[in-house]
Amino acid sequence: MKRLSLLLAVILVASCSPKVVTRLSTPLAPLNVVEQVRVTEDIPPPQDAQFLGTVEVSDSGFSTNCSYDEVVALAVAEVRKAGGNYLHIEAHRWPDWVSTCHWIAGSIFYVDHAPPAAHAPDALASDGEPQLRPMGQDDILPSTFVPPAIPEPEYKLGKWRFALDVAYSYRTAKIGDNPSGGELSDSEWKEFMRGLLGGVSYGASITGFFNTVYGLGAKFTGNSYSNRGLGVDTYYIAPELLMRIPNRDFKNMWIFSFSAGYVAYNESIKDGSTSERVESVGGIKSVVEVGYDFRIAQGVYLGLKLAASVGGVRLKDADGKNIMNSLQAIEIGGGIRF
Protein backbone atom coordinates (compact mmCIF):
# COMPACT_ATOMS: atom_id res chain seq x y z
CA MET A 1 0.00 0.00 0.00
CA LYS A 2 2.84 2.40 0.85
CA ARG A 3 4.51 1.62 -2.48
CA LEU A 4 1.26 2.32 -4.33
CA SER A 5 0.82 5.63 -2.51
CA LEU A 6 4.41 6.59 -3.30
CA LEU A 7 3.91 5.67 -6.96
CA LEU A 8 0.72 7.76 -7.17
CA ALA A 9 2.50 10.72 -5.55
CA VAL A 10 5.35 10.47 -8.06
CA ILE A 11 2.89 10.33 -10.97
CA LEU A 12 1.00 13.35 -9.62
CA VAL A 13 4.18 15.43 -9.23
CA ALA A 14 5.41 14.43 -12.68
CA SER A 15 2.09 15.34 -14.32
CA CYS A 16 2.26 18.85 -12.82
CA SER A 17 5.74 19.50 -14.23
CA PRO A 18 6.32 20.84 -17.75
CA LYS A 19 7.48 18.40 -20.42
CA VAL A 20 11.18 18.69 -21.26
CA VAL A 21 12.51 17.08 -24.45
CA THR A 22 16.23 17.16 -25.21
CA ARG A 23 17.74 15.90 -28.47
CA LEU A 24 21.52 15.68 -28.34
CA SER A 25 23.87 15.08 -31.26
CA THR A 26 27.30 15.46 -29.60
CA PRO A 27 26.90 15.63 -25.80
CA LEU A 28 29.86 16.59 -23.65
CA ALA A 29 30.64 16.02 -19.98
CA PRO A 30 28.19 17.88 -17.69
CA LEU A 31 29.12 21.48 -17.04
CA ASN A 32 31.01 22.23 -13.85
CA VAL A 33 28.75 23.73 -11.18
CA VAL A 34 30.83 26.92 -11.02
CA GLU A 35 30.71 27.53 -14.78
CA GLN A 36 28.14 29.87 -16.23
CA VAL A 37 25.42 29.47 -18.87
CA ARG A 38 24.56 32.31 -21.19
CA VAL A 39 20.90 32.63 -22.29
CA THR A 40 19.92 34.76 -25.29
CA GLU A 41 16.89 35.17 -27.50
CA ASP A 42 17.85 37.79 -30.08
CA ILE A 43 21.62 37.28 -30.37
CA PRO A 44 22.80 34.17 -32.25
CA PRO A 45 25.76 32.20 -30.87
CA PRO A 46 29.34 32.89 -32.05
CA GLN A 47 30.31 31.28 -35.34
CA ASP A 48 32.81 28.99 -33.63
CA ALA A 49 30.22 27.69 -31.11
CA GLN A 50 29.87 23.89 -31.03
CA PHE A 51 26.30 22.70 -31.56
CA LEU A 52 25.30 20.01 -29.04
CA GLY A 53 21.57 19.58 -29.58
CA THR A 54 18.15 21.10 -28.91
CA VAL A 55 15.87 21.48 -25.91
CA GLU A 56 12.12 22.10 -25.76
CA VAL A 57 10.00 22.85 -22.68
CA SER A 58 6.22 22.58 -23.14
CA ASP A 59 2.95 21.88 -21.36
CA SER A 60 2.57 18.26 -20.24
CA GLY A 61 -1.21 18.65 -20.17
CA PHE A 62 -1.55 19.31 -16.43
CA SER A 63 1.46 21.59 -15.89
CA THR A 64 1.31 24.25 -13.20
CA ASN A 65 4.91 25.41 -12.68
CA CYS A 66 5.41 26.81 -16.16
CA SER A 67 6.00 30.55 -15.99
CA TYR A 68 8.72 31.98 -18.23
CA ASP A 69 11.14 31.94 -15.29
CA GLU A 70 10.52 28.28 -14.61
CA VAL A 71 10.66 26.95 -18.17
CA VAL A 72 13.95 28.80 -18.82
CA ALA A 73 15.39 27.38 -15.59
CA LEU A 74 14.43 23.85 -16.74
CA ALA A 75 16.05 24.45 -20.13
CA VAL A 76 19.24 25.77 -18.50
CA ALA A 77 19.43 22.62 -16.35
CA GLU A 78 19.33 20.49 -19.52
CA VAL A 79 22.03 22.65 -21.11
CA ARG A 80 24.30 21.99 -18.14
CA LYS A 81 23.64 18.23 -18.30
CA ALA A 82 24.60 18.24 -21.99
CA GLY A 83 27.87 20.04 -21.25
CA GLY A 84 26.79 23.27 -22.90
CA ASN A 85 27.28 26.81 -21.71
CA TYR A 86 25.14 28.70 -24.22
CA LEU A 87 21.36 28.48 -24.74
CA HIS A 88 19.87 30.26 -27.75
CA ILE A 89 16.06 30.45 -27.37
CA GLU A 90 14.75 30.38 -30.93
CA ALA A 91 11.01 30.13 -30.31
CA HIS A 92 8.74 31.32 -27.52
CA ARG A 93 4.97 30.97 -27.35
CA TRP A 94 2.88 32.81 -24.78
CA PRO A 95 0.01 31.16 -22.84
CA ASP A 96 -3.19 31.04 -24.86
CA TRP A 97 -6.55 29.24 -24.93
CA VAL A 98 -4.84 25.92 -25.72
CA SER A 99 -2.31 26.07 -22.88
CA THR A 100 -1.71 28.29 -19.86
CA CYS A 101 2.05 27.60 -19.98
CA HIS A 102 4.95 29.34 -21.67
CA TRP A 103 6.56 27.20 -24.37
CA ILE A 104 10.18 27.62 -25.46
CA ALA A 105 12.50 25.81 -27.84
CA GLY A 106 16.19 26.46 -28.37
CA SER A 107 19.60 25.16 -29.33
CA ILE A 108 22.40 24.09 -27.00
CA PHE A 109 25.95 25.19 -27.72
CA TYR A 110 29.36 25.06 -26.13
CA VAL A 111 31.46 28.19 -26.54
CA ASP A 112 35.17 27.53 -26.03
CA HIS A 113 36.16 31.04 -24.95
CA ALA A 114 34.90 32.32 -21.60
CA PRO A 115 32.34 35.17 -21.63
CA PRO A 116 33.67 38.65 -20.81
CA ALA A 117 33.70 39.20 -17.07
CA ALA A 118 32.06 42.61 -17.49
CA HIS A 119 28.81 40.90 -18.40
CA ALA A 120 28.61 38.70 -15.31
CA PRO A 121 25.82 39.84 -12.94
CA ASP A 122 25.98 39.70 -9.18
CA ALA A 123 24.49 36.25 -8.76
CA LEU A 124 23.71 36.43 -5.06
CA ALA A 125 22.47 39.12 -2.75
CA SER A 126 23.91 39.63 0.71
CA ASP A 127 21.48 37.13 2.19
CA GLY A 128 22.56 34.42 -0.24
CA GLU A 129 19.34 34.51 -2.28
CA PRO A 130 19.32 34.95 -6.08
CA GLN A 131 19.59 38.61 -7.10
CA LEU A 132 16.83 39.25 -9.66
CA ARG A 133 17.13 42.09 -12.16
CA PRO A 134 16.04 42.78 -15.78
CA MET A 135 17.79 40.36 -18.17
CA GLY A 136 19.68 41.98 -21.03
CA GLN A 137 20.57 40.39 -24.33
CA ASP A 138 24.08 39.43 -23.17
CA ASP A 139 23.29 38.39 -19.61
CA ILE A 140 25.00 35.34 -18.19
CA LEU A 141 23.17 33.05 -15.80
CA PRO A 142 25.33 31.44 -13.09
CA SER A 143 24.17 28.07 -11.83
CA THR A 144 22.48 29.69 -8.82
CA PHE A 145 20.80 32.46 -10.80
CA VAL A 146 17.01 32.23 -11.34
CA PRO A 147 15.92 33.76 -14.67
CA PRO A 148 13.61 36.73 -14.12
CA ALA A 149 10.20 36.87 -15.74
CA ILE A 150 9.76 38.48 -19.12
CA PRO A 151 8.15 41.94 -19.08
CA GLU A 152 4.46 41.89 -18.25
CA PRO A 153 2.01 43.00 -20.97
CA GLU A 154 0.99 46.64 -20.83
CA TYR A 155 -2.59 45.62 -20.08
CA LYS A 156 -3.23 42.98 -17.43
CA LEU A 157 -6.31 40.78 -17.23
CA GLY A 158 -8.31 40.86 -14.04
CA LYS A 159 -9.27 37.86 -11.93
CA TRP A 160 -12.95 38.85 -12.10
CA ARG A 161 -15.30 39.86 -14.93
CA PHE A 162 -18.67 41.55 -14.48
CA ALA A 163 -20.90 42.02 -17.55
CA LEU A 164 -24.15 43.89 -18.21
CA ASP A 165 -25.94 43.16 -21.51
CA VAL A 166 -28.91 44.28 -23.62
CA ALA A 167 -29.83 42.37 -26.78
CA TYR A 168 -32.47 41.71 -29.39
CA SER A 169 -33.91 38.23 -28.97
CA TYR A 170 -35.62 36.24 -31.71
CA ARG A 171 -37.34 32.94 -31.04
CA THR A 172 -36.38 30.45 -33.75
CA ALA A 173 -38.55 27.51 -32.71
CA LYS A 174 -41.20 26.28 -35.12
CA ILE A 175 -44.70 27.54 -34.34
CA GLY A 176 -46.66 24.64 -32.88
CA ASP A 177 -50.23 23.46 -33.36
CA ASN A 178 -53.13 25.73 -32.48
CA PRO A 179 -54.08 25.06 -28.82
CA SER A 180 -56.80 27.72 -28.58
CA GLY A 181 -59.66 25.24 -28.88
CA GLY A 182 -61.33 27.09 -31.76
CA GLU A 183 -61.06 30.61 -30.36
CA LEU A 184 -58.57 31.38 -33.16
CA SER A 185 -58.24 29.87 -36.60
CA ASP A 186 -54.94 28.24 -37.51
CA SER A 187 -53.91 31.22 -39.66
CA GLU A 188 -54.88 33.69 -36.90
CA TRP A 189 -52.94 31.63 -34.38
CA LYS A 190 -49.77 31.62 -36.51
CA GLU A 191 -50.06 35.35 -37.18
CA PHE A 192 -50.47 36.00 -33.46
CA MET A 193 -47.46 33.82 -32.58
CA ARG A 194 -45.27 35.56 -35.18
CA GLY A 195 -45.85 38.74 -33.21
CA LEU A 196 -44.31 37.05 -30.16
CA LEU A 197 -41.12 35.93 -31.89
CA GLY A 198 -39.09 39.11 -31.39
CA GLY A 199 -38.33 40.71 -28.06
CA VAL A 200 -35.80 42.27 -25.72
CA SER A 201 -33.18 40.48 -23.65
CA TYR A 202 -31.27 41.87 -20.69
CA GLY A 203 -28.87 40.25 -18.26
CA ALA A 204 -25.84 40.23 -16.05
CA SER A 205 -23.06 37.79 -15.27
CA ILE A 206 -20.09 37.52 -12.94
CA THR A 207 -17.06 35.27 -13.54
CA GLY A 208 -14.00 34.44 -11.46
CA PHE A 209 -10.93 33.21 -13.37
CA PHE A 210 -8.67 30.49 -12.01
CA ASN A 211 -6.05 31.11 -14.76
CA THR A 212 -5.53 33.39 -17.75
CA VAL A 213 -8.11 31.62 -19.92
CA TYR A 214 -10.77 29.74 -17.95
CA GLY A 215 -13.31 31.00 -15.45
CA LEU A 216 -16.47 29.92 -13.65
CA GLY A 217 -19.36 32.13 -12.65
CA ALA A 218 -23.12 32.77 -12.62
CA LYS A 219 -25.44 34.18 -15.27
CA PHE A 220 -28.87 35.83 -15.21
CA THR A 221 -30.94 36.66 -18.30
CA GLY A 222 -34.44 38.05 -18.71
CA ASN A 223 -36.44 38.01 -21.95
CA SER A 224 -39.63 39.91 -22.71
CA TYR A 225 -42.03 39.44 -25.66
CA SER A 226 -45.48 40.95 -26.20
CA ASN A 227 -48.24 41.06 -28.81
CA ARG A 228 -51.88 42.20 -28.66
CA GLY A 229 -51.94 42.49 -24.91
CA LEU A 230 -50.29 39.13 -24.17
CA GLY A 231 -46.89 39.34 -22.53
CA VAL A 232 -44.37 36.52 -22.26
CA ASP A 233 -41.46 36.91 -19.83
CA THR A 234 -38.71 34.42 -19.07
CA TYR A 235 -36.07 34.55 -16.33
CA TYR A 236 -32.98 32.37 -16.57
CA ILE A 237 -30.31 31.71 -13.94
CA ALA A 238 -27.44 29.24 -14.26
CA PRO A 239 -23.77 28.53 -13.56
CA GLU A 240 -21.55 29.50 -16.47
CA LEU A 241 -18.21 28.22 -17.78
CA LEU A 242 -16.35 30.96 -19.64
CA MET A 243 -13.20 31.03 -21.76
CA ARG A 244 -11.40 34.22 -22.82
CA ILE A 245 -8.73 34.43 -25.53
CA PRO A 246 -6.84 37.74 -25.40
CA ASN A 247 -4.93 39.11 -28.35
CA ARG A 248 -1.15 39.56 -28.21
CA ASP A 249 -1.18 42.86 -26.31
CA PHE A 250 -4.07 41.79 -24.03
CA LYS A 251 -6.20 44.79 -25.10
CA ASN A 252 -9.14 42.96 -26.70
CA MET A 253 -10.33 39.37 -26.36
CA TRP A 254 -12.66 36.70 -27.66
CA ILE A 255 -15.22 35.31 -25.21
CA PHE A 256 -16.82 31.85 -25.34
CA SER A 257 -19.24 30.58 -22.71
CA PHE A 258 -21.68 27.79 -21.93
CA SER A 259 -24.37 27.68 -19.25
CA ALA A 260 -27.27 25.42 -18.32
CA GLY A 261 -29.85 26.04 -15.61
CA TYR A 262 -33.38 26.90 -14.56
CA VAL A 263 -35.78 29.11 -16.56
CA ALA A 264 -39.06 30.56 -15.26
CA TYR A 265 -41.78 31.19 -17.87
CA ASN A 266 -44.63 33.65 -17.25
CA GLU A 267 -47.59 34.61 -19.43
CA SER A 268 -49.75 37.61 -18.51
CA ILE A 269 -52.58 39.69 -19.95
CA LYS A 270 -51.49 43.32 -20.09
CA ASP A 271 -54.03 46.13 -20.06
CA GLY A 272 -52.40 49.52 -19.90
CA SER A 273 -50.40 49.78 -16.69
CA THR A 274 -51.85 46.61 -15.16
CA SER A 275 -51.24 42.96 -15.92
CA GLU A 276 -52.78 39.66 -14.86
CA ARG A 277 -50.66 36.52 -14.77
CA VAL A 278 -52.33 33.62 -16.54
CA GLU A 279 -49.53 31.03 -16.71
CA SER A 280 -46.37 30.43 -14.71
CA VAL A 281 -44.17 27.34 -15.11
CA GLY A 282 -40.52 26.36 -14.91
CA GLY A 283 -38.17 24.45 -17.17
CA ILE A 284 -34.58 23.83 -18.26
CA LYS A 285 -32.55 25.95 -20.66
CA SER A 286 -28.95 26.06 -21.92
CA VAL A 287 -27.06 28.87 -23.66
CA VAL A 288 -23.95 28.97 -25.86
CA GLU A 289 -22.43 32.40 -26.39
CA VAL A 290 -19.59 33.91 -28.40
CA GLY A 291 -18.48 37.50 -28.03
CA TYR A 292 -15.69 40.01 -28.45
CA ASP A 293 -14.62 42.59 -25.87
CA PHE A 294 -13.00 45.89 -26.92
CA ARG A 295 -10.94 47.69 -24.30
CA ILE A 296 -12.05 51.33 -23.90
CA ALA A 297 -10.22 52.08 -20.62
CA GLN A 298 -8.10 50.25 -18.07
CA GLY A 299 -10.33 47.42 -16.80
CA VAL A 300 -13.37 48.58 -18.84
CA TYR A 301 -14.54 46.89 -22.06
CA LEU A 302 -17.32 47.31 -24.61
CA GLY A 303 -18.57 43.88 -25.58
CA LEU A 304 -20.53 42.40 -28.48
CA LYS A 305 -22.20 39.00 -28.28
CA LEU A 306 -24.10 36.38 -30.27
CA ALA A 307 -25.95 33.77 -28.20
CA ALA A 308 -28.03 30.70 -29.01
CA SER A 309 -30.32 29.04 -26.48
CA VAL A 310 -32.34 25.82 -26.38
CA GLY A 311 -34.86 24.63 -23.82
CA GLY A 312 -38.53 24.47 -23.14
CA VAL A 313 -41.44 24.43 -20.69
CA ARG A 314 -44.68 22.47 -20.52
CA LEU A 315 -47.92 24.47 -20.92
CA LYS A 316 -51.58 23.39 -20.97
CA ASP A 317 -53.83 23.85 -23.98
CA ALA A 318 -57.56 24.68 -23.94
CA ASP A 319 -58.37 21.02 -23.17
CA GLY A 320 -55.97 20.86 -20.23
CA LYS A 321 -53.41 18.73 -22.06
CA ASN A 322 -49.68 19.33 -21.63
CA ILE A 323 -47.87 20.74 -24.66
CA MET A 324 -44.16 21.54 -25.01
CA ASN A 325 -43.35 25.18 -25.63
CA SER A 326 -39.85 25.58 -27.06
CA LEU A 327 -37.65 28.48 -25.90
CA GLN A 328 -35.13 28.10 -28.71
CA ALA A 329 -33.81 31.53 -29.66
CA ILE A 330 -30.86 33.60 -30.84
CA GLU A 331 -29.70 36.91 -29.34
CA ILE A 332 -27.57 39.70 -30.80
CA GLY A 333 -26.43 42.53 -28.57
CA GLY A 334 -23.75 43.84 -26.30
CA GLY A 335 -22.96 45.79 -23.20
CA ILE A 336 -20.32 46.92 -20.76
CA ARG A 337 -17.77 44.74 -18.98
CA PHE A 338 -15.62 45.43 -15.94
At 178 the pLDDT is 60
Query: Is 255 a domain residue?
Result: yes
Q: Does 118 share its domain with 169?
A: no
At 116 the pLDDT is 45
199 with 337: CB under 8 angstroms?
no
Q: Does 165 share its domain with 314?
A: yes
Q: Does 199 share its domain with 306?
A: yes
Query: Is 5 a domain residue?
Result: no
Residue % of the chain over a pLDDT of 70 = 70
- How many C-beta atoms lie closer than 10 Å to residue 205's C-beta? 22
* Total domains, the chain: 2
Among 141, 174, 207, residue at a domain's last position: 141
Q: Does 192 share its domain with 74?
A: no
Q: Does 165 share its domain with 137?
A: no
Query: Tens of pLDDT along 242-253?
Result: 998 887 667 788
CA dist., res. 72 & res. 28, Å (int): 21
pTM of the complete model = 0.57
CA dist., res. 72 & res. 323, Å (int): 63
112 with 104: CB under 8 angstroms?
no
Query: Tens of pLDDT along 118-142?
Result: 333 333 344 444 343 344 434 444 4
The most distant pair of C-alpha atoms in the chain lies apart, rounded to whole Å, by 98
Q: Which residues contact 165 (CB under 8 A, 6 or more apart)?
A: 201, 202, 203, 204, 205, 221, 303, 305, 333, 334, 335
Query: Is 248 a domain residue?
Result: yes
Q: Does 209 share its domain with 109?
A: no
Query: Tens of pLDDT along 138-166?
Result: 444 444 334 444 444 445 678 899 999 99
Q: Taking all residues of the chain, what is their mean pLDDT, rounded to a whole number?
A: 77
Q: Does 258 share its domain with 321?
A: yes
Structural domain including 47 reads 17-141
Q: Which among 3, 26, 138, 36 is positioned nearest to 82, based on CA atoms?
A: 26
270 with 278: CB under 8 angstroms?
no
Query: Is 152 a domain residue?
Result: no
Q: Does 127 share its domain with 166?
A: no
Q: Does 102 share its domain with 190?
A: no
Q: Does 137 share its domain with 165?
A: no
Query: Is 9 a domain residue?
Result: no
Q: Does 124 share its domain with 165?
A: no
Q: Does 190 share its domain with 97?
A: no
